């Protein structure tokens, strides 16, 4: 099946065309230099150790590497949070300046201190490989190089994430006509893992991108291979994988990856948002600390309606989902910053028990989801899937609870009294979500 995740519905920024013209010219130069071997690793990046040129003629033949399991699950004990360039900058607008500016705003707007500390440079940073096969960042877009960018992020208390693919073709090669070739990690897994470690990378987004079709790769084997190479570097690097849920990664990825996409790309519209939430029903059993289902990055503030923004945030927290902001943090309005940093929602997302929410009911335009929390409290969400304002209720018995509980509206941060039987929702706006926290009394 051909993934359709990248084409439709994505925001294309008007200035992309002007930047693209400059980029293509710059890449031509870079590629030519790389091809002639004139592109010295020392000039572009600070890697000095010569490395053997790996063979790219032998595709991976279904290796059976052993994942590190407990080591891997010791990373990302709560769902990773941060900012990722893709939903905002996509391919043509990506640059070091844009990433640094986003990182600055993540700090200055209080998002970093709320927990959003991974800054992930997604696809389109690559310009090729040097004479030793080492990946190089596009010197026009990333003039200081990746090591310097990592140092900058670390100096601000942030962590550095980067994007790569297990096959020969990145998704932007395929979907965005990104012209640079030879930047996939097939045959270069050990070298790329070490390069990322040398750059101070803390998080790798490893994206399958049709590698089953182009390169004959098998998902589990390809991701496990990189997992092992990351471990061999000795640097703790969180591994985020995406193959869009196609090989049911939740059944094999815990212990291999820290998070795995459960679906194709999330677009900033209601149908896509609803589809992604619905795709999570039944997956809670596979998530645990260090191993998270990933319904994709936040599209909050990218064109969803106000209630839909609340739904994405509240439901992602119910799902113990990784939270990656995908918009410009510098221009984000304060209401969105407040929603993203709502400490009561984040406490649910980051609850150390790591128990993902379950769908308990889907009827009359409202879905009820429930989630056990570590301190004996419980989160219940009323997701209004209808086009009208609705309210609903659920009994403690339906939630598997007994006793008396205080009820707190975590979205609006108001107390709603106590209950020993029925938990009523406030009125939930169309497409909105009420998320209530129940704390046992006594
Ligand atoms: C897609 C992936 C997106 C983004 C893009 C880059 O496959 O789902 O999140 O990484 O590739 O080309």
- Interval 116-136 mean pLDDT: 98
Closest CA to 160 of 108, 214, 220, 96: 96
103 found inside a domain: yes
Strand, coil or helix: 119: strand
Q: How far is the CA of 166 from the centre of ligand 1 (A)?
A: 13
By residue range, what is the domain housing residue 394?
Answer: 358-440
Give the separation between CA 410 and CA 435, rounded to whole angstroms: 6
250 and 111, same domain (yes or no): yes
114 and 141, same domain (yes or no): yes
Q: Which two tokens stand for residue 380?
A: 């219940």
Phi, psi of 239 (to 5 degrees): -110, 120
10 found inside a domain: no
341 and 415, same domain (yes or no): no
Q: How far is the CA of 170 from the centre of ligand 1 (A)?
A: 8
Question: Is 5 near ligand 1, meaning CB less than 6 Å away?
Answer: yes
Q: From atom 7 of ligand 1, which residue's Cα is the shortest distance away?
A: 171
* 366-372 and 422-424 strand pairing: unpaired
Q: How far is the CA of 439 from the centre of ligand 1 (A)?
A: 39
78 found inside a domain: yes
Number of folded domains in the chain? 2
CATH code where residue 386 lies: 2.60.40.1180
Percent with pLDDT over 90 in the chain: 84
125 and 56, same domain (yes or no): yes
Question: Is 208 near ligand 1, meaning CB less than 6 Å away?
Answer: no
CATH code where residue 328 lies: 3.20.20.70
Q: What is the pLDDT of residue 64?
A: 55
pLDDT in tens, 310-364: 999 999 999 999 999 999 999 999 999 999 999 999 999 999 999 999 999 999 9
Atom of ligand 1 nearest to the CA of 172: 12
pLDDT in tens, 165-182: 999 999 999 999 999 999
pLDDT in tens, 268-291: 999 999 999 999 999 999 999 999
Question: Is 265 near ligand 1, meaning CB less than 6 Å away?
Answer: yes
2 found inside a domain: no
Q: How far is the CA of 207 from the centre of ligand 1 (A)?
A: 7
Q: What is the pLDDT of residue 67?
A: 80
Q: From atom 8 of ligand 1, which residue's Cα is the shortest distance away?
A: 265
User: What's the number of CA atoms in the CB half-sphere (13 Å) around residue 366?
Assistant: 21
368 and 339, same domain (yes or no): no
Question: Is 209 near ligand 1, meaning CB less than 6 Å away?
Answer: yes
288 and 391, same domain (yes or no): no
Catalytic site includes residue 207:
yes
Catalytic site includes residue 123:
no
**Which of 93, 117, 130, 207 is flagged as catalytic?**
207
Q: What is the pLDDT of residue 35?
A: 30
Cβ-defined contacts of 20-23 (< 8 Å, 24+)? 20/92, 22/140, 23/92, 23/138, 23/140, 23/141
**Which of 192, 265, 294, 296 is flagged as catalytic?**
265
Q: How far is the CA of 144 from the centre of ligand 1 (A)?
A: 24
Q: How far is the CA of 6 from the centre of ligand 1 (A)?
A: 7
Question: Is 308 near ligand 1, meaning CB less than 6 Å away?
Answer: no
Reported confidence tier of residue 43, pLDDT bands at 50, 70, 90: very low
Question: Is 85 near ligand 1, meaning CB less than 6 Å away?
Answer: no
229 and 362, same domain (yes or no): no
Whether 34 shows a pLDDT value over 70: the answer reads no
- Interval 144-159 mean pLDDT: 98
Pocket test residue of 6, 161, 209 for ligand 1, highest count of atoms within 8 A of CB: 6
User: For residues 93 and 13, is the Cβ–Cβ distance under 8 A?
Assistant: yes
Give the separation between CA 343 and CA 340, rounded to whole angstroms: 9
391 and 249, same domain (yes or no): no
Question: Is 134 near ligand 1, meaning CB less than 6 Å away?
Answer: no
426 and 380, same domain (yes or no): yes
């Amino acid at each position: 099946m051909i993934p359709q995740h990248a084409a439709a519905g994505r925001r294309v920024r008007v200035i992309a065309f002007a930047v693209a013209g400059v980029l293509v010219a710059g890449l031509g130069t870079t590629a030519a230099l790389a091809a002639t071997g004139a592109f010295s690793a020392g000039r572009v990046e600070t890697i000095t150790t010569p490395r053997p040129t790996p063979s790219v003629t032998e595709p991976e033949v279904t290796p059976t590497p052993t994942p590190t399991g407990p080591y891997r699950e010791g990373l990302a004990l709560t769902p990773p949070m941060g900012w990722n360039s893709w939903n905002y900058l996509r391919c043509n607008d990506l640059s070091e300046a844009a990433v640094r500016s986003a990182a600055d705003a993540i700090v200055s707007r209080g998002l970093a201190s709320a927990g959003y500390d991974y800054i992930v440079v997604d696809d389109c940073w690559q310009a090729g490989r040097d004479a030793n096969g080492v990946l190089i960042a596009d010197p026009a877009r990333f003039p200081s190089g990746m090591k310097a960018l990592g140092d900058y992020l670390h100096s601000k208390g942030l962590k550095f994430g980067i994007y790569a693919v297990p096959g020969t073709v990145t998704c932007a090669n395929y979907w965005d006509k990104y012209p640079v070739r030879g930047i996939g990690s097939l045959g270069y897994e050990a070298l790329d893992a070490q390069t990322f470690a040398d750059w101070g990378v803390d998080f790798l987004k490893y994206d399958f991108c049709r590698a089953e079709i182009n390169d004959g790769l098998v998902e589990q084997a390809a991701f496990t291979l990189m997992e092992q190479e990351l471990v061999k570097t000795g640097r703790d690097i969180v591994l985020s994988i995406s193959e869009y849920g196609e090989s049911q990664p939740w059944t094999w990825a815990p212990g291999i990856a820290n998070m795995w996409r459960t679906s194709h790309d999330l677009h900033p519209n209601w149908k896509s948002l609803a589809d992604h939430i619905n795709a999570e029903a039944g997956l809670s059993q596979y998530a645990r600390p260090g191993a998270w289902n990933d319904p994709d990055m936040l599209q909050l503030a990218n064109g969803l309606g106000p209630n839909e923004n609340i739904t994405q945030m509240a439901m992602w927290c119910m799902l113990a989902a990784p939270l990656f902001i995908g918009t410009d943090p510098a221009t984000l309005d304060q209401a969105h910053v407040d929603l993203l940093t709502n400490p009561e929602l984040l406490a649910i997302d980051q609850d150390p028990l790591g128990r993902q929410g379950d769908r308990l009911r889907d009827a009359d335009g409202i879905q009820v989801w429930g989630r056990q929390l570590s301190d004996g409290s419980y989160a219940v969400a009323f997701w209004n899937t209808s086009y009208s304002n609705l309210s609903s209720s659920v009994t403690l018995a339906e939630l598997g609870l007994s006793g008396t509980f205080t009820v707190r509206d975590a979205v609006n941060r108001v107390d709603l009294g106590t209950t020993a039987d029925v938990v009523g929702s406030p009125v939930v706006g169309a497409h909105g979500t009420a998320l209530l926290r129940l704390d046992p009394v006594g």
